[in-house]
Structure 1
Amino acid sequence: MENKDILLYNSLSGAFGIMNDKGRHIYENIENIKELNTEDEINILNCMKSNGFLVEQDIDERLLIKTLKNFQRFSSETLGLAIVPTLDCNMACPYCYEKKGDIYMTIRVADDIIKFIEEYLCSNTIDNIHISWYGGEPLLSIDIISYISNKIIDLCKKFKKSYNASIVTNGTLLDRETAKILYDLKITHAQVTLDGTKEVNNNRRRLKNGSDSFEIITSNIINCADIIPITVRCNIDKNNITGMDELYNFFFRNDINFYIAPIEKQTDACSVNTDKCFSYKDFSTIEFDVLRQMYTNNKNIDNISYPSVKFLPCSALSSKSYVIDPYGNLYKCWCEIGDKNKAVGTIKDGIELKGNLIKWLSIEHDKKCNQCKLFPICLGGCHLKAIEGKELECPYDVINFRDKLELYYEDYANKNRINDKINTI
């Protein structure tokens, strides 16, 4: 940059730009400028307005955000269902927040789900259906997954709706044959979890039969990645932070997405030691250190999330998003599975517009967030914590937004090119 140039970012529009001295003069004196004399000055003004750096005086951006949030909350064109076909799992991770058990979805419940979706298609204006398969370990119920998926695909053809699905799995059962089955069922993405490099992972995430899991999981990922896109999530606490660069480089060489996420004690069922968990503030530094190393090694900015507006930060806030447990109970949040007191209805009897659902559909952010300049890319943090009256933390990926923007600028400067995220004003 020139000495007098500055970087500026708008958290509502997502615009990231370079402001030169002329642009800065216009910006800082806009209320006193009566007329712009050159085409260059007019272009600068129009660029500022179109990217949200200048707004009309009668626009209340906080009300605009609230309006857009409510619009997405109640006007979504997508029915999103997270289906848990079993709470059983072939692993016993200490930080798991679910109450495990030998519980599997029956055909009767599966048929109720199909009926629920068909009635929803008949009575609601939606264009898309998205299914997230979750567990337990969902691949222990591959037969139920296949049964329900084929039925939903047929319904979408009948009603001329689009359909896609994803799955969260520990990866131990995701062999090549299973991946082909998932692909045929229009499951277009899989998230697989690890806990670190081989030695670290195997000390923390052993199979219930005592076997090591790392080689099984990584081999499955490599063998299936050409069939179904896979993202690897590495769960991090204070005991397994080392070796992330080695792990990332391994997956990068094999063209597989990789990211880290903090381990948290989200429910009473979770037996993780909270003293070993990072605060969001501490984890934000760790996450960016890993991202910086990833970029330094590979010069690939595409794997680093760009700070962007979130009008609906969590699917649980949508009026058309639910989680279904193996019994057919309906919940709003994945973390509530197993606590029937937090259910918002059942697949068979329908949705109940009562206490729990009303809380989710009416919950607003903490008032102290109103004055925060980063509110559009955060929207108040985890709303489940707000409902439960817990202390809120700013999300780690918001805390380190400035570092990420600087990395984006560094990438821009190194490549000496204009991209769609950086404008010159």
Structure 2
Amino acid sequence: MQYKLSHYLIFNDSLIDKNQALIYSTITNKLLRVSNLLAGMLQRKEFHKLPNETLEKLITDRIIVNENEDELLTVINENKQHSSKDSTLFEVIQPSAWCQLGCYYCGQAHKKDLLSDQTINNIANRIFEKLKKNSKYKFLAIGWFGGEPLTGMNTMRKLNNLIKRHCEDLNIELKNSVIVTNGMSLKFNIYKELVEDFKISQFEITIDGIGSYHDDHRYLKKDKEGSFDLIYKNITNILNSDFYSEGSQKITIRCNVDTKNFDGVEPLIKKLANDNLHNKIEHLYFASIYSWAQNNAHQQSLSKEEFAFYKLKWELLKIKHGYKTNEITKRKHNTCILTSNDSEMYDTYGNVYSCTEVSFTDIYKNSKYLLGNVNKSISDERSYLNWYDQVWEKKDSQCNSCKLFPICGSACPKSWMEGNPPCPTTRYNIKEEIQLQEIKMHSKTKSELVELLDSFEQSLAIENMKYS
């Protein structure tokens, strides 16, 4: 059989041993450290010189593949197969159109409106019919989104009770639900109720840097007052509770970054560590501000290269302070609900969307992402179910040739169609991510780890943050 080197490989030098090289497969997520001699043989395609045992391992790890294999098609087919076998129906619900905060980068227009009883019943019935119609579903997960979902807590309770009743009737388990909240109303008793009654296992809360940096981003609409102190207090009370430590639910903190607040990220990392919260949260991650509903918020962003550089430095700081460490970005089998057959988002007015980024906006009011309304009629036509076929046919994106496609999955089809390539930060610092992973894997002591991290940090440069 004839072989070829997989297209989906990232090569880099080892930081631990100058006589070795690193190879990372974005398909299998395997990171190998091999001799420079072997790395050279692979890049020169001298497969006939490899011992059988070595050849077999490289084939197993998908470093080497059949010469006739269309790897892009293989990845796409695996993605489709994964989606077809998924036994969890994921639905997104916006119980309230209101949010207390006036974040400049938010693309939504907020109003003090809640789900009506009619809309609650019809959303529950639509979910019930989906579960009843498709026998592959054994589980249901709800994503509670906003606005700020907790400003509609009473409507959440009504809808959740109906959903649970339907699940019991169909012997479906409600589990692993998620909520994205600003944290303002997340008191401990509310948190406990969400875990126990709503079966929420993942909470995502946004903190955009420490103190005033956050407050300049995420202030109250009413009087422009800051929100950091209240949100931080709520999170602290939850994380320090026995209920949290004894449970399996997880809190993730998202930090949105732009040119105005990036100096506030490092102090936030240190504060969470000093308050001993860093090892209680599941994850602290960083996101670059982007254009939401074409509001041009991205004009305040760091460049792609700058953000990739600073993100690496923040990850190094997290490791030094004892945070749970992240591995290299993993394989992604689905982009979002836009490419899903059944998942939908329901807004406060009963509108049904195939995308979570378009509700409460004028620009998408009558767009192809609007499927209908639960109180009227809903179309079966969905625009991007064939997205992966478009990628394979080399339409509308550059994903077909990208080595990172298996761990990105095209990210956001809508952004591609609007001319805003949504390439992840990993595209710009994947080689450095690989070296960082090597350091974590091979450091035997804390002092050795810190020494290697310091040396690694000194080698970082913005001009090296590029895809090649």
Normalising by structure 2, we get a TM-score of: 0.80
Which of these residues, 231, 238, 245, is aligned with residue 217 of structure 1? 231
Structure 2 vs 1, CA of residues 73 and 348 (structure 1 numbering), >3 Å: closer, same or farther?
farther
Which residue of the partner structure matches residue 23 of structure 2?
A: 8
- 1:234 equivalent to 2:255? Answer yes
The answer on 1:152 being equivalent to 2:152 is no
TM-superposed CA distance for 1:171, in Å, is 0.5
Name the counterpart of 1:244. Answer: 265
| Paired letter, 1:245 | E
Q: 2: CA distance between counterparts of 1:347 and 1:332? A: 13
State the 1:184 CA deviation. 1.6
Partner of 2:434: 405
Shift of 1:235: 1.2
* Structure 2 counterparts to residues 233-312 of structure 1, below 5 A: 233-252=254-273, 253-254=276-277, 255-256=280-281, 257-268=283-294, 270=295, 272=297, 274-298=298-322, 300=323, 302-312=324-334
- Any idea what SS the aligned residue of 1:321 has? coil
Please say if residues 73 and 317 of structure 1, whose CA atoms lie closer than 8 Å, have aligned partners that are also in contact: no
Amino acid at match of 1:115: N
CA distance in 1, matches of 2:330, 2:24: 10
Instruction: Report what 1:179 is aligned to.
Output: 191
Counterpart pick for 1:340 among 359, 365, 386: 365
Structure 1 CA distance for aligned equivalents of residues 77 and 45 of structure 2: 30
SS of aligned partner of 1:415: coil
- Residue by residue over 1:8-28, the C-alpha shift from the partner in whole angstroms, topping out at 9 and shown as x without a partner, is 111111110111367547745
Seen in structure 2, the aligned counterparts of structure 1 residues 229 and 309 have a Cα distance that, compared at 3 Å, is closer
| Alignment partners' CA distance in 1, 2:385 and 2:93 | 20
Match of 2:417 in 1: 387
Q: How far, CA to CA, are the matches of 2:318 and 2:269 in structure 1?
A: 7
| CA deviation profile, 1:106-129 (whole Å, cap 9, x unmatched) | 121111111111111111131221
CA distance in 1, matches of 2:147, 2:65: 48
Q: Which range moves more in the overlay, 114-123 or 289-298?
A: 289-298
Give 1:32's aligned residue.
48
- Give secondary structure in 1 for the equivalent of 2:192: helix
Match of 1:196 among 209, 219, 235: 209
How do residues 315-330 of structure 1 correspond to structure 2 at under 5 angstroms? 315-330=337-352
3-state DSSP of counterpart to 1:340? coil
Give 2:181's aligned residue.
169
| Structure 2 SS opposite 1:89 | coil
2-side partners of 1:347 and 1:75: how far apart?
27
- Secondary structure of 2:221 counterpart: coil
Deviations 1:159-181 (A, max 9, x none): 22232211111111001111111
Q: Structure 1: how far apart are the matches of 2:129 and 2:409?
A: 33
TM-score by length of 1: 0.87
Q: CA deviation at 1:206?
A: 2.1
Stretch moving more, 250-259 or 83-92: 250-259
The range that moved more, 213-222 or 116-125, is 116-125
CA distance in 2 between counterparts of 1:120 and 1:66 reads: 25
Separation in structure 2 between the aligned mates of residue 70 and residue 53 of structure 1, nearest angstrom: 22
- The alignment partner of 1:86 has SS state of coil
Paired AA for residue 161 in structure 2: N
Contact 1:12 1:376 (8 Å CA) reproduced: yes
Aligned counterparts of 1:305 and 1:15: Cα–Cα separation in 2: 11
3-state DSSP of counterpart to 1:243: helix
Report the 3-state secondary structure (helix = DSSP H, G, I; strand = E; otherwise coil) of the residue aligned with 2:352: strand
Percent of residue pairs identical: 25
1:103/1:367 CA distance change after superposition, 3 Å: closer
User: SS of 1:151's equivalent?
Assistant: helix
Q: Check whether the contact 2:213–2:264 (CA below 8 A) recurs between aligned residues.
A: no
| Structure 2 SS opposite 1:196 | coil
DSSP-derived class of the 1:132 partner: strand
Higher relative contact order (CA 8 A, sep 6+): 1
The alignment partner of 1:360 has SS state of coil
User: CA–CA distance in 1 between the matches of 2:359 and 2:291?
Assistant: 15
State the match for 2:144 in structure 1: 133
- In the alignment, the residues of structure 2 paired with residue 155 and residue 334 of structure 1 have an alpha-carbon distance, to the nearest angstrom, of 24
Rounded to whole Å, the distance in 2 between the matches of 1:212 and 1:25 is 56
User: Counterpart in 2 of 1:421?
Assistant: none
Give the match for residue 219 of structure 2.
206
**Post-superposition shift, 1:318?**
1.1
- Separation in structure 2 between the aligned mates of residue 370 and residue 381 of structure 1, nearest angstrom: 13
Distance 1:94 1:54, change over 3 A: same
Contact 1:92–1:205 (CA under 8 A) maintained in structure 2: yes
How far 1:91 moved relative to its partner?
1.4
Partner SS, residue 336 of structure 1: coil
Q: Residues 271 and 105 from structure 1, CA distance in 2 versus in 1: closer, same or farther, beyond 3 angstroms?
A: farther
Query: 2:455: which partner in 1?
Result: none
Q: How many aligned residue pairs are there?
A: 402
Q: Secondary structure at the match of 1:173?
A: coil
Q: In structure 2, give the amino acid aligned to 1:277.
A: S
CA–CA separation in structure 2 for the residues paired with 1:284 and 1:315: 27
Partner SS, residue 256 of structure 2:
strand
